Amino acid sequence: MPPVQKPTVTDAEFAKVYNDLKKYPTSQHVAQKLGIAYQTVKNRAGLLRAAARDSDTESPLISRVHPSVPMSEDESRFIANFDQEDCVEELRRIANIDPDTVVSRNYFRVHSKISESTWSRYFGTFEEFKRQAGLKLTRQQHGLERHIAKHASVDHYRRKNEERRNYGGLYLRPSNGRFKTIVIASDLHDEEMDPFFKRVLIDTISRVQPDAFCIGGDGLDLPEFGKYSVDPREWGPTRRIKVMHDFLKSIRERNPDMQIDWLEGNHEYRLLRHLSDETPALKTVLAELHGMTIRQLLGLDRYEVNYIAKADLAAYRERDIQKELGRNYHIYHDCLLVHHFPDGRNMGLPGVNGHHHKHISWPHFSPVYGAYEWHQLGCGHRRDASYCSGEKWHMGFMIANIDTHTRQVNFDYVPVTDFAVSGGMWYSRDKSEQVSPELRIALPKAA
């Protein structure tokens, strides 16, 4: 039952009890002494202070909140003469009571002899209080630990770096003669490769017999490791890798003496990082690939392929990864640069890049090379992809002819639609190579 209010309590009697902090340290004690409700104490104190303000007289009541201890829960436990060292010693004393107990703010509040405002005026937060007492790592120590952890988490990538470091020079072919021809195709994307594009490319390489064929990155698609959502139950990386092996086999059988170079693109980079992680789930999905080296995985020895990979797999942030991938490029005969990204356009040499699946040509001038061109290649990926705007892509590849004496490069870009003209040969897409009707280039009927 709430206490019965005594209306006979005068303002003077109320003020006498209210102002006696020693006998009645809290408003609850005042209420019990006067036999009135706690809320009545607060209301009456407010009315008396308001009346004093209206009459421009001094309030008959003291302030029960000490101005120097605004955060204290218990004014009786505020120790004004405690300095920082005293507060730290008190926190360490509480921590030593039970070394196996983590000292939380509430634990300290219950067991300590000082109020929160005693220590908070020096340290602000309880976390900083614990740091100063040596019970928690400082920000610098914690930052150093995070930095160590970041590097430790990518150590296994660095080991994979060593495996692929010298793969760019595994199967170099002798380079004699003044004139050289390089065929470059980028973004083939394994089983997503357009069948008509594939036929034109393989036949062109067979007829032209270039000195080198270069895959300018993303020979593999592997959407399982990309940003597109693929149901893990439908993963087929082994199947996709086999498709790329079959493609390399066709190229090598027709051109036994040709140099084949494979530039690492962002898709291959992601695959190697995932394989380096070797998580239990990934081992289950990639059971057929478990234990395979990079050379076996990409068919480097079987088809005599140079794999050009200068990017550091241990790059931590996405921005660092993009910067590292920008290091994956190759220069032919000091005058032809092949890059997966358009960054190569600003490197001062004639050349090509892939990645964006759209053909663009830029004119440039250099005192060394004179007027020259940079081309962004179309892709080999079929244009009826369901997970992106494939209808906006271009398909095509490049035949680059080099005069090694003058270091001049003549480009012969081969667009591939429903027909193609490559090396003077005309090709037409047959029925088995048709893409979705809504994405086909409508050709005029013959008269």
The torsion region of residue 313 among left (phi > 0), alpha (psi -120 to 50) and beta comes to alpha
What is the per-residue pLDDT for 396? 97
pLDDT digits (tens, 9 = 90+) for 45-70: 888 888 887 777 777 888 775 444 44
Distance CA 216, CA 196 (A): 19
In this predicted structure, the answer to whether residue 80 has a pLDDT above a threshold of 90 is no
In the chain, the percentage of residues whose pLDDT exceeds 70 is: 82
In this predicted structure, the answer to whether residue 447 has a pLDDT above a threshold of 50 is no
C-beta neighbour count of 200 within 10 angstroms: 26
Average pLDDT over residues 14-42: 87
C-beta neighbour count of 44 within 10 angstroms: 19
Closest CA to 180 of 361, 335, 304: 335
105 token code pair:
């703010």
Average pLDDT over residues 237-262: 93
Do 325 and 340 touch, CB atoms closer than 8 A?
Answer: yes
What is the per-residue pLDDT for 329? 95
Provide the residue ranges of all domains of the chain, joining segments of one domain with +: 1-64, 75-136, 173-439
User: Would you say domain 173-439 falls under CATH 3.60.21.10?
Assistant: yes
In this predicted structure, the answer to whether residue 430 has a pLDDT above a threshold of 50 is yes
pLDDT digits (tens, 9 = 90+) for 329-367: 999 999 999 999 999 999 999 999 999 999 999 999 999
Distance CA 96, CA 25 (A): 32
The HSE-up count of residue 58 (CA atoms within 13 Å, CB side) is: 5
Question: Binning pLDDT at 50, 70 and 90, where does residue 442 land?
Answer: very low
Q: Which residues contact 102 (CB under 8 A, 6 or more apart)?
A: none
What is the per-residue pLDDT for 299? 93
pTM: 0.66
What is the pLDDT of the chain when averaged over all its residues? 84
Within the chain, what is the greatest distance between any pair of CA atoms?
119
Average pLDDT over residues 198-225: 91
Distance CA 262, CA 216 (A): 6
In this predicted structure, the answer to whether residue 290 has a pLDDT above a threshold of 80 is no
Distance CA 204, CA 347 (A): 29
358 token code pair:
């759209």
